[in-house]
Amino acid sequence: MPIPAIEIEGLSKEYPYGFLSLKKKTSLENLTMQVESGEIFGFLGPNGAGKSTTIKLLMRLIFPTSGTARILGRSINDVPMHQKIGYLPEQPYFYDYLTATELLDYFARFHNLTATDRSERVQRMLQKVGLETAKKIQLRKYSKGMLQRVGLAQAILHDPEVVVLDEPMSGLDPLGRREVRDIILELKAQGRTVLFSTHILSDAEMLCDRVGVIVGGKLRGVGTPGEMVGIQSQGMEIAFELTEVAKRFSLLEKATKTGAVYRVQLPEAELYAGVDELKAAGARIISVSQIKATLEDFFMNLVDADRAQANAVEVSGK
């Protein structure tokens, strides 16, 4: 059985605050999960949910209050193991007195690469992230999106086995997001493991083999995007337009209107009756589609439940 790329067991992080640091805020509570080798794993959660905390713990930028984590079967505190990891921080900021070429060469020096190899990889990466024409400009003149691209380049420069990306689409335009998605898929095709955090659910649905949803520092579920939202149909939707000869009919009262198009949602068992009613009324049917829950629905339900729970605690506390 292959070793999981990332194993997290009971990881918690508390931050002391207040007078004499006597109070404690829990950012992450008893997180246990695995990321399998070769998969794209999406770490989902609203802002402040604990995604970045988890990633920073894995990158040993902060230290856990309790729990352990291993990457490629080795402790995260095993420094040589980090040769095999690539990391893109959230909203990355780099030495602004360096050019992109100099920065990538600087980071490449921490890996066992020869000068020729470094130079070749740096040029290849700059080309890959679309910064070839800006490679001699100091980073202080870069836009947020360009810095994000440099960050991605430094994360994958040394062909890491595990790539951890904290909000990789942040600050990118649609074209940039598409390019990052392509790079993530390319990494998977090469057999790499990718863990990325995001709150953009469409990216997760499009890319991930599995997702983990974290809300309020607690992991609320792990599975494929399909498993997470359930695959059963939530009903049917009929889109239609009214013709000049159309008569008034009962479904019209339930419909919502966008421009000239009406949409009505029905239980699956009532679909045929609904279609007959529309035909009889002289309406023109545009489309009939199945309604499925999205990852967004699942996500929003969790966040709403979390907020309701927090409010209940607050009210009972009063």
Partner 1 sequence: MRNVWVVATNTFREAVRDRVLYNLVFFALLMMGAAILVGQISIGIEESVIISLGLSAISIIGIFIAVFIGVGLVSKEMDKRTLYALLAKPIERWQFLIGKFAGLAMTLTVNTAAMTAGLYLALWTVKHTLASSDVYLLTATYLILLKLTLIVALAMLFSCFTSPFLAILFTVGIYIAGLFAMDLRRLQAVNLTPATMSMFRAVSYILPNFENFNVMATVTHGRAVSASLVGQCTIYAILYGAIVLTGAALVFSRRNLK
Give the one residue of 62, 137, 185, 293 binding partner 1; rule: CB under 8 A. 62
What's the residue count for the chain? Answer: 318
Residues of span 98-127 touching partner 1 by CB under 8 A: 98, 106-107, 109-111
- Residue pair 73/16 in contact (Cβ under 8 Å)? The answer is no
Shortest Å distance, C-beta 8 to partner 1: 17
What residues does 261 pair with on adjacent strands?
A: 258
**The tokens of 174 are what?**
């649609």
Looking at beta carbons only, is 62 or 288 nearer to partner 1? 62
Residue 61 found at the interface with partner 1 (CB under 8 A):
yes
- Size of the residue set binding partner 1 (CB under 8 A): 31
- Residue pair 152/129 in contact (Cβ under 8 Å)? The answer is yes
Give the one residue of 18, 80, 259, 317 binding partner 1; rule: CB under 8 A. 80
Residue 47 found at the interface with partner 1 (CB under 8 A):
no
Give the one residue of 85, 126, 264, 283 binding partner 1; rule: CB under 8 A. 85
**The tokens of 12 are what?**
């918690």
- Residue pair 200/179 in contact (Cβ under 8 Å)? The answer is no
Give the one residue of 95, 173, 223, 300 binding partner 1; rule: CB under 8 A. 95
Looking at beta carbons only, is 76 or 169 nearer to partner 1? 76
Give the one residue of 39, 43, 45, 56 binding partner 1; rule: CB under 8 A. 56
Give the one residue of 41, 43, 87, 299 binding partner 1; rule: CB under 8 A. 87
- Amino acid, res. 7: E
Looking at beta carbons only, is 154 or 170 nearer to partner 1? 154
Residues of span 7-46 touching partner 1 by CB under 8 A: 15
**The tokens of 50 are what?**
């604990």
What residues does 222 pair with on adjacent strands?
A: 212
Shortest Å distance, C-beta 80 to partner 1: 6
Give the one residue of 42, 45, 92, 217 binding partner 1; rule: CB under 8 A. 92
Shortest Å distance, C-beta 154 to partner 1: 6
What string of H, E and C letters represents the secondary structure of the chain?
CCCCCEEEEEEEEEEEECHHHCEEEEEEEEEEEEECCCCEEEEECCCCCCHHHHHHHHCCCCCCCEEEEEECCEECCCHHHHHHEEEECCCCCCCCCCEHHHHHHHHHCCCCCCHHHHHHHHHHHHHHCCCHHHCCCEHHHCCHHHHHHHHHHHHHCCCCCEEEEECCCCCCCHHHHHHHHHHHHHHHHCCCEEEEEECCHHHHHHHCCEEEEEECCEEEEEECHHHHHCCCCCCEEEEEECCCCCCCCHHHHHCEEECCEEEEEECHHHHHHHHHHHHHHCCEEEEEEECCCCHHHHHHHHHHHHHHHHHHHHHHHC
Give the one residue of 63, 116, 260, 314 binding partner 1; rule: CB under 8 A. 63
Residue 135 found at the interface with partner 1 (CB under 8 A):
no
- Stretch in the footprint of partner 1 (CB under 8 A) among 30-38, 58-66, 186-194, 249-257: 58-66
Residue 93 found at the interface with partner 1 (CB under 8 A):
yes
Residue 249 found at the interface with partner 1 (CB under 8 A):
no
Give the one residue of 7, 30, 37, 81 binding partner 1; rule: CB under 8 A. 81
Shortest Å distance, C-beta 151 to partner 1: 7
Give the one residue of 42, 151, 216, 217 binding partner 1; rule: CB under 8 A. 151
Residues that bind partner 1 in the complex, under the rule CB under 8 A: 15, 56, 59-63, 79-83, 85, 87-89, 91-95, 97-98, 106-107, 109-111, 151, 154-155
